[in-house]
Structure 1
């Protein structure tokens, strides 16, 4: 009985403290709140009479633009800058809204947004099994009448939806995103080497990769080192839009815009237009990019992947190919030159025998550098395969061992390659891809 009295007394005292509180704690019903947020999201999605423009930059690379029209019947129409096809052919699928921890938009049947997340790397150029680490289920971060910020449920991909204007909706449906593809391709293919100068006299090379959807500025700093600024982009009706703002010496920009009248791109920096300029030759000397410990360490000459430029080396390669074929019908596929140390390099011949088995024959050279930075290669050693087939490859080996080279660019047929150019004969150069 004493224990019960103590308990009753404790509860009575506790009740007294409770009565002294000036405010009572009122808790919302989380389910009701989620349902209300879902209804708000559905209302906002439907409120955009001209649809929504979406931009997403997945962690696996590249950036992507979309045009969405969300129907009240759970159907969504979609266009995307993923390819020319997805930019011109509207595809319809289903979507639904679900109350998870946050109101969530789920694209639940396959459409263009799923191409980015497709685990087949041949679809999007991503990683096998994960694609570009993107999402197709998006939780809301913030919702307003003109903008919706979303976050991928599984991969955390950020996507922002902007309410489209009537003109923007018409342009998307007319395939003008695909037109911007063509404008960019034509500009890059027919204008030499673009660059920008922020006003300090340093020319910064512009590199727009359509396959990787990256925008890069590269320049040589005061110490002679190559410096790069790079960001992912998505196509817009006006040009390119970066996922993150880039900054140089306090000057920031996030969009690369096409000027229709001037037929040129420009960066928009605090309201000022910084137009691209064109150089007939590459802005960045290749010697700062190619070599041991640098951006590129290897050049590969593969006749099936490079253009036939007017170099004496093509005859040298043909002689080596014929010489190797004379040794039991072996076939020379490619030649690789790799800087393996500050003063060493390897010349590798990739070939196969008549049975189709692949082999490599390697020769190691010591790199000798003169006062002007020119290179010559002194024989050090060769592996057993070279002992067997080296006589057939003598023309190519002699080419490297008997000449002095400088590192430079080689261009032709709209392509740019790295090259080792014979100092005494600029028309003779070993060239290839990085």
Structure 2
């Protein structure tokens, strides 16, 4: 006990002595805070040509692009690829740099970044209170002179800033951002099935302009499909992949438009790969049904390119049965929607009654084996208006879809384009095609 008291007394006396204090760092904490804040402030305002910025949101993994120019009076002017107006109309707001457990860039008045976190879901299509789950406060992580990396304080998504060139600054200021975005969209609309050759395989690259996500997929023999996806944002002359798309040791960071009819994929070593086009999706249709291709639409028609005589006759039978079945219904388009994660397929048919719109929904479980599809009734097979129309749809459902095996492949109408073709194995004269 006496030894313990001696030790405690020694600690107390030592802690109260007025000796020199050795700091872990060579400066006081408040000095380091001030210097780090100044470093970030000077970096932001120091780029006379502004910054290209890229951000991901958490709710759906969408990506967004920006152009920002900061000044020393804590003003920031901004463009965004949120929509056509934001890509062509500069919005002014204010910002500040303050220390909140780290030096933090705070956008403190409403701007285009604020749209992503707006709690009014009518503004951004997000959730009430959380919007698209994005941030307006970003902690400073690091910089290398030409780029700055920050991270959102709540949702931890990175905000990347890359110094713009003088040519890019001029283009951003003269409507070039919207022009560049539209050029990319025009190219990808005209060329739907894009791929790059990588280690002897065709890597399909697809951009969903509405969801602002990019995916890459490849077929590994015999029938395994590898898919990666990420958010993307529009740059002045291309797109930026938020986390990159990694395949076989090659990490693709984005696409760059070289001319009106030429785009290249660029990896993290700045190597360029020609983006080639295919007349149909690169991967076999059976391998991507329910994943990258989910919805197949049979139009409201008595005949259609690729429909067999037997299918047309059976569709006419269904139409007549609905018309005379007591409700005076007609038959419109039919949509088959596949979900690979649940192996469910919904068969939804338009069945208007005069000018009043109705649908009939049947839900099935589907399986794939040796490239063939089979269907069986799900526990909730009979959906909206299905019980009163089940007998009417029997020539297509009970007698074919639920009874036979089907192959699925691409079909090329003589008029151009590509559709999907479903063919019964047991009744090869039963064939229908659909858009997708």
TM range (shorter): 0.7 to 0.9
- CA 1:347/1:48 → structure 2, altered by over 3 Å: closer, same or farther? closer
Q: Superposition pairs for residues 76-87 of structure 1, below 5 Å?
A: 76-87=76-87
Shift of 1:39: 3.4
SS for the counterpart of 1:95 is strand
Query: Is residue 108 of structure 1 aligned with residue 108 of structure 2?
Result: yes
Cα shift readout 1:129-188 (whole Å, capped 9, x = no counterpart):
433321111122235654332121221121122332221211211222222222222222
Q: Superposition pairs for residues 106-255 of structure 1, below 5 Å?
A: 106-121=106-121, 123-124=123-124, 126-127=126-127, 129-143=129-143, 145-191=145-191, 193-200=193-200, 202-255=201-254
Structure 2 residue aligned with 1:420: 422
Structure 2 residue aligned with 1:310: 305
Cα shift readout 1:255-314 (whole Å, capped 9, x = no counterpart):
322222762333346454220222222211111223xxx63796453759x9x9635468
Question: Is contact 2:242-2:253 (8 Å) kept?
Answer: yes
Structure 2 residue aligned with 1:54: 53
SS for the counterpart of 1:256 is strand
Structure 1 residue aligned with 2:90: 90
Question: Is contact 2:206-2:216 (8 Å) kept?
Answer: yes
For structure 1, which segment, 313-322 or 78-87, has the greater mean C-alpha deviation from structure 2 after superposition? 313-322
Cα shift readout 1:307-359 (whole Å, capped 9, x = no counterpart):
x9635468865764564244324465664547799999775556577897967
SS for the counterpart of 2:256 is strand
- CA 1:242/1:367 → structure 2, altered by over 3 Å: closer, same or farther? closer
SS for the counterpart of 1:264 is strand
Structure 1 residue aligned with 2:281: 282
Structure 2 residue aligned with 1:38: 37
Question: Is contact 2:252-2:265 (8 Å) kept?
Answer: no
Question: Is contact 1:422-1:429 (8 Å) kept?
Answer: no
RMSD: 4.6
Structure 2 residue aligned with 1:25: 22
Question: Is contact 1:47-1:145 (8 Å) kept?
Answer: no
Identify unmatched segments of 5+ residues in structure 1: none
- CA 1:415/1:376 → structure 2, altered by over 3 Å: closer, same or farther? same
CA–CA distance in structure 2, aligned partners of residues 287 and 177 of structure 1: 38
**Equivalenced residues, count:** 418
CA–CA distance in structure 1, aligned partners of residues 251 and 339 of structure 2: 38
Query: Is residue 429 of structure 1 aligned with residue 432 of structure 2?
Result: yes
- The structure number with the bigger radius of gyration is 1
SS for the counterpart of 1:223 is coil
For structure 1, which segment, 176-185 or 405-414, has the greater mean C-alpha deviation from structure 2 after superposition? 405-414
Identify unmatched segments of 5+ residues in structure 2: none
CA–CA distance in structure 1, aligned partners of residues 254 and 394 of structure 2: 53
CA–CA distance in structure 1, aligned partners of residues 206 and 15 of structure 2: 74
SS for the counterpart of 2:253 is strand
Cα shift readout 1:220-262 (whole Å, capped 9, x = no counterpart):
1023111123222221123121112333222233132222276
Shift of 1:90: 0.5
- CA 1:284/1:133 → structure 2, altered by over 3 Å: closer, same or farther? same
For structure 1, which segment, 43-52 or 324-333, has the greater mean C-alpha deviation from structure 2 after superposition? 324-333
CA–CA distance in structure 1, aligned partners of residues 287 and 366 of structure 2: 20
Query: Is residue 67 of structure 1 aligned with residue 63 of structure 2?
Result: no
From 324, 327, 340, give the equivalent of 2:322. 324
Q: Please give the TM-score of this superposition, normalised by the length of structure 2.
A: 0.76
